[in-house]
Structure 1
Amino acid sequence: MIEKATWGYDGNLEPLYEVEEREEEFLVTFDLPRVRREDVEVNTTKDTVEVVARMSRAICWEHWGSVQRKITFQAFRKRIRLPEQVEPEKASAIFKNGILQINLPKARRKVVVPIT
């Protein structure tokens, strides 16, 4: 499912993202234009993933209508609650051409107990 981008008046944009559930993992993909790899921070817990990414150049948006507004965006920020628990210490991420892909292995639900 792809979500639409939204913003707040704190200078942060919520990026476009997609959560793909696979058999053994979740693949979470973020679209982060105007961001360099060294400006991306990924934090995970057993049921969330959060991305904070500073833009290399701020974006200014102006709205001229019945109400005049001017907003400057400087970073992307998004926290996602995952549908199942994951193993955060085994997470990995790749960033290339403004696209961040995070692999989050699902937590094992069933453990085989040896019988002696």
Structure 2
Amino acid sequence: MSIERRIIKATWGYNGDLEPLSELEDLGDAILVTFDLPRVKKEDVEINLTEDTVELKAKMSESVCWEKWGSIQKRLTFQTFQKQIKLPVHINQKEASASFKNGILRVVMPKLREKVLIHID
């Protein structure tokens, strides 16, 4: 299988959530998802995994306010990052690991390898 790499652009919601920049990379035997989380402390990050999704919620140490940006003259304040990513393969949630340094969160999730014994009639 070839390496799949996606860079997903940040978006925002009017409820104060900002979608962080993220990158998904297929490492062969694992999936690596990297999140850019400026203004976030390690203890304010929550990661939830299912067999085929990774969900991130992170609270910023201070809110960010955008005023008069683009053609829209509106003020928006962001306080949290939130994102859910559908993974290209099933993963082993129990073997997953994460590291956080300088605002960069790296989540490594081993691919699920199921062996099935086929009975021959």
Separation (CA, whole Å) in 1 of partners of 2:113 and 2:23: 23
Q: 2:81 aligns with which of 66, 73, 76?
A: 76
**What 5-or-longer segments of structure 2 have no aligned partner?**
1-5
Q: Give the TM-score, by structure 2 length.
A: 0.87
Q: Deviations over 1:36-55 (max 9, x none)?
A: 00000000000000010000
In the alignment of these two chains, the number of paired residues is 114
**What 5-or-longer segments of structure 1 have no aligned partner?**
none
Residue 3 of structure 2 is matched in structure 1 by none
- 1:37 has 2:38 as partner: no
State the 1:66 CA deviation: 6.1
Secondary structure at the aligned position of 1:6 is classed as coil
2:12 aligned partner, one-letter code: W
Q: How does 1:1-116 map onto structure 2 within 5 Å? A: 1-63=6-68, 67-109=72-114, 111=115, 113=117
Q: Deviations over 1:44-92 (max 9, x none)?
A: 0000000100000000011267653111000100000000000111111
More strand by share: 1
Q: Give the TM-score, by structure 1 length.
A: 0.91
2:112 aligned partner, one-letter code: A
RMSD: 1.9
